[in-house]
Amino acid sequence: MNQSPNSEPQIPSQPNIDPKASSIGPLKAIIALSLAILVTLAFSGCTSSTPTAAPSLSSSLIGGDERGASHEDLARYYAPVINQGVASNQDFITAVDFDGDWIGNNNWENQPTGDLSAYVYYSVVETETHWFLFYALFHPRDYTRDPCEQSDGCHENDMESIQVVVAKNDMPFGRLQAVETLAHSHIYLYTADRSVSGNFLKVKGSVRLEESHPVVYVETYGHGIYAQRKILVPYRVVYRVGERAEVPESLQDKDISYQLVSIYDTLWVRRDEIGEGRAFDQPFDYQGHVLPAAIDGDDYGEDKANTPWGYNQETGDTLSRGDWFLDPARALAFHARFDGDFSLKYVYNPYLADLGLGDGATILRHLALEVKCAPGMPR
């Protein structure tokens, strides 16, 4: 985990609060009282806030922005080009149910006989000013060059992920601003233009593109993801988004098609399948809701692979486990600084809508974040 700076990074203010939210009956009084408490806390030392809720789903823009591109079109437009280091077919990306079932702890033994067709899981979440496109890569095995019995570095299941941040503008697909990648215990920040700078995270480098697609590099064996050029040994295959899910023809195949699969329709709908011999395990509390932090697994360690909503990397003292996926605007505002408008108000977030989190409670959570870290506040 990266070390936190001496002072907590600043979070961009939410430009506007929906006026409808302040007129929701009894909630108006709660918001007014909470604002008074937050201001009092700010001038008495700007104490840390405990997140209590997250944004909700708006019914006005389901499935895409009113300016044109659907969420599916956006996901395909920015789907990454994946340079995957390979030493064997254990490095091929595939689906969590590649073996025909949703049992997590038989994936290690089923890897040699399962279907290794290439799938990438994706999600799109939308605020007033940005789209957050999340891509997750699954491998049944995380392994090492040395035999696993000797290395102490192997585990069943592996899911590492990518967050693509796109600013809305007058164009249907907006403007790419940043890419974050997960590699083991760290999240790395890469920028696509000068409007983004580091905050809690330092900028690791610049985003490389193949047409509109960010180019990423995935390690052999351990599968950490980076958005800067890496030498991948001993071999490399290249995946690009397409209409079919293909299996590499060799360990040097440079033209493999992967198919995008919705996180919401596959993994998220099974989030209650928690326990030994089921899909997921390691339950944790997300603002009053029990979610699984890991894919169930028991070979060479228990439950080592996080779910998309189970990551706990780079949270500092401000974020909670799961925010990188479930509340990406809040996470990115903490990780980086964005020039210009950066709204924390969601117009599409089906995950938090399903959890019943949002409305006035969302405003309070984000106002707490604002007051805590507003420029000039005592700390």
pLDDT tens digits along 232-275: 999 999 999 999 999 999 999 999 999 999 999 999 999 999 99
**Is 337 contained in some domain?**
yes
Percent helix, strand and coil across the chain, each to the nearest 5: 20, 30, 50
| pLDDT value, residue 367 | 54
**Is 10 contained in some domain?**
no
**Is 134 contained in some domain?**
yes
Quick one: angle between helices 328-335 and 360-373, nearest 10? 10
Ramachandran sector of residue 246 (left: φ over 0; alpha: ψ -120 to 50; beta: rest): beta
Low-confidence ranges of the chain (pLDDT < 70): 1-68, 358-379
| pLDDT value, residue 58 | 34
| pLDDT value, residue 241 | 98
**Is 322 contained in some domain?**
yes
| Residue 113 burial (CB count, 10 A) | 9
Q: Is 210 exposed, middle or buried (0-12, 13-18, 19+ CB in 10 A)?
A: exposed
Q: Helices marked H in 179-327 — which ranges?
A: 263-266, 323-326
| pLDDT value, residue 46 | 34
The CA distances from residue 228 to 7, 189, 258, in Å, are 29, 10, 21
Where in the sequence is the domain holding 306, given as residue range(s)? 58-355
| pLDDT value, residue 224 | 97
| pLDDT value, residue 370 | 55
State how far the Cα of 197 lies from the Cα of 269, in Å rounded to an integer: 35
**Is 23 contained in some domain?**
no
b vs e for 28-52, b when ≥16 Cβ sit within 10 Å of the residue's Cβ? Answer: eeebeebeeebeebbeeebeebebe
Q: Helices marked H in 304-356 — which ranges?
A: 323-326, 328-335, 350-354
| pLDDT value, residue 51 | 29
**Is 376 contained in some domain?**
no
| pLDDT value, residue 64 | 55
**Is 44 contained in some domain?**
no
**Is 295 contained in some domain?**
yes
| Residue 165 burial (CB count, 10 A) | 27
| Residue 170 burial (CB count, 10 A) | 8
Based on the structure, what is the number of domains in the chain? 1
Give the three-class secondary structure for 21: helix
